[in-house]
């Protein structure tokens, strides 16, 4: 349940024939769903089993993480992150100064590089591509990457011409981080826009070519496994 009182769902998302570390856990899916729906806080989380350590660490990034209620098992009494992950490693361990946490407003100073502007001009008549590029750029501007500052965003264009997008989400522990492509896939699934991976026509990825964290190669790998007919366009950020 979000702070607004609205209820959201999250499910496990897996990529057949791809490494398991690309799987999206249900709790992560839920958080991306809340984020893409404009929620600014999470009040309670009901799960079918105790959250794994991966997800407990992921939720350490959330605004007011210590107040989120976790409900699972036969005992319906809520538990809190301090119960589930005491003495945890989190944002304060990597940053001395306060910064906007996950679900708080982000504003990253990125823009298109000249090469991206040229690619956009070359496909000026492709409305779905133009929308996907705009949403990928917005995803990069609003992404959560306080540790590496490798801002990136992605958008998925479906065979029906619909566009879904997301921004990179980092974890202080690094491994639980979600790529912008993963977040765009969650957006598509939760908005009933992706019946199967074969419905992906193109992915537009916006990232800096000199970034220490890049998603290009992993997105290509995933598409080769689940949507081999889909195209990938990488637009460089400046």
Q: What is the pLDDT of residues 15-53, one digit of tens each?
A: 999 999 999 999 999 999 999 999 999 999 999 999 999
Q: pLDDT confidence of 75, banded at 50, 70, 90?
A: confident
pTM score, two decimals?
0.94
Looking up tokens 């249900």, which residue turns up? Answer: 26
Give the pLDDT score at 152: 99
- Between CA 32 and CA 29 the distance in angstroms is 5
pLDDT score of 4 more than 90: yes
52 marked among binding-site residues: yes
Q: Which residues contact 58 (CB under 8 A, 6 or more apart)?
A: 25, 27, 28, 31, 171, 176
Catalytic, out of 27, 39, 61, 207: 27
CB 151 within 8 A of CB 145: yes
- Between CA 44 and CA 131 the distance in angstroms is 34
Q: pLDDT confidence of 90, banded at 50, 70, 90?
A: confident
pLDDT score of 217 more than 90: yes
34 marked among binding-site residues: no
Share of the chain above pLDDT 70, in %: 100
What values do phi and psi take at 178, rounded to 5? Answer: -115, 130
pLDDT score of 140 more than 90: yes
29 marked among binding-site residues: no
Choose the most confident range, by mean pLDDT, from 51-65, 71-85, 95-109, 132-146: 132-146
Quote the crossing angle between the two packed helices 180-190 and 26-36, to the nearest 10°: 80
Q: Active site includes 115?
A: no
Q: How many other C-beta atoms can be found within 10 angstroms of the C-beta atom of residue 54?
A: 16
Q: pLDDT confidence of 116, banded at 50, 70, 90?
A: very high
Task: State mean pLDDT over 48-77.
Answer: 93
Domains of the chain: 20-93 (3.40.140.10), 114-236 (3.40.140.10)
13 marked among binding-site residues: yes
Averaged pLDDT of the chain: 96
11 marked among binding-site residues: no
Give the pLDDT score at 89: 85
């Amino acid at each position: 349940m979000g702070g607004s009182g609205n209820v959201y769902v999250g499910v496990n998302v897996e990529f057949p024939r791809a490494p398991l570390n690309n799987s999206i856990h249900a709790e992560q899916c839920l958080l991306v769903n809340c984020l893409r729906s404009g929620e600014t806080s999470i009040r309670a989380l009901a799960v079918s089993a105790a959250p794994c350590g991966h997800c407990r660490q992921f939720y350490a990034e959330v605004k007011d993480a210590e107040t989120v209620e976790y409900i699972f098992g036969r005992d319906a009494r809520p538990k809190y992150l301090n119960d589930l992950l005491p003495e945890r490693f989190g944002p304060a361990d990597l940053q001395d100064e306060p910064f906007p946490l996950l679900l708080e407003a982000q504003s990253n100073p990125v823009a298109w590089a000249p090469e991206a502007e040229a690619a956009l001009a070359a496909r000026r008549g492709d409305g779905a591509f133009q929308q996907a590029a705009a949403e990928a750029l917005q995803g990069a501007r609003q992404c959560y990457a306080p540790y590496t500052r490798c801002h990136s965003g992605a958008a998925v264009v479906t065979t029906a011409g619909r566009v879904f997008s997301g921004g990179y989400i980092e974890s202080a522990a690094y491994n639980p981080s979600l790529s912008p492509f993963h977040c765009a896939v969650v957006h598509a699934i939760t908005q009933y826009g992706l019946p199967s991976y074969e419905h992906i026509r193109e992915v537009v990825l916006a990232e800096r070519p000199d970034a220490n964290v890049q998603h290009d190669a992993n997105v290509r790998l995933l598409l080769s496994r689940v949507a081999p007919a889909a195209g990938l366009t990488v637009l460089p950020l400046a």
